Amino acid sequence: MFVLGYSNVVKQTSQQVNQRKFRRRASLQQRVIAAILCAAITAFFGVFAVAGHHQADMGRWLGYCGFQQTTGLPCPTCGMTTATLAFAQGRIFEAFYIQPAGGLLCSVMVVVAVVALGVAVSGVYFRFIERFFVEIKLRYMILALFFVLTAGWAVTLARALAAKS
């Protein structure tokens, strides 16, 4: 009987220690930053959703691709705006088809917005966020972004070359 009671105490204590390692209380500054980040991403997709709904010419607002006009081939970011428009309107698979890198980046932005919303509303700051930025250096994030853009460009370039044939 005594051993059973002791094991429950040890189990509860170890679970409390693990929970403290996994999450902690967010500071006011962290909550404000998370709220601003969530609001900015939501506004970004909101602008694109409204623009897509009203069929606005985004090239007029963001500029047309000079690389494509000069060479006739898509640039590394060609299709990003169209993919973002499709993603913002809920056509997620179409966004990945139009520009795979655009669909992936939009998906990452949605995940970031959801986590930021959780931090802002609940006040719980997850340690994995801190560990992510400490363990994964900025240069690796830039390198990963470069590879994602390069892979997306390879797909759109292959489609453009196939369409010319």
Q: Domains of the chain: which residue ranges?
A: 35-164
Q: For residue range 60-73, what is the model confidence (pLDDT) as tens digits? A: 777 677 777 788 77
Angle between helices 80-88 and 100-122 (to 10 degrees): 50
CA dihedral 139, 79, 85, 112 (to 10 degrees): -10
For 107-135, what is the mean pLDDT? 87
Q: For residue range 30-85, what is the model confidence (pLDDT) as tens digits? A: 899 999 999 999 999 999 999 888 887 776 777 677 777 788 778 777 888 889 99
Contact 41, 109 (CB under 8 A): yes
Look up the pTM and report it.
0.75
Helix spans in the chain (H): 2-22, 28-53, 58-62, 66-71, 80-88, 92-98, 100-122, 127-135, 138-164
Angle between helices 100-122 and 138-164 (to 10 degrees): 140
Q: What is the pLDDT of residue 1?
A: 47
Q: Give φ, ψ of 25 to 5 degrees.
A: -75, 130
pLDDT averaged over the chain? Answer: 82
End-to-end CA distance of the chain: 80
Of the candidates 111, 108, 97, 114, the one whose C-alpha atom is nearest the C-alpha of residue 145 is 108
Residue 22 has pLDDT above 50, yes or no: yes
Of the candidates 56, 116, 40, the one whose C-alpha atom is nearest the C-alpha of residue 89 is 56
Residue 154 has pLDDT above 70, yes or no: yes
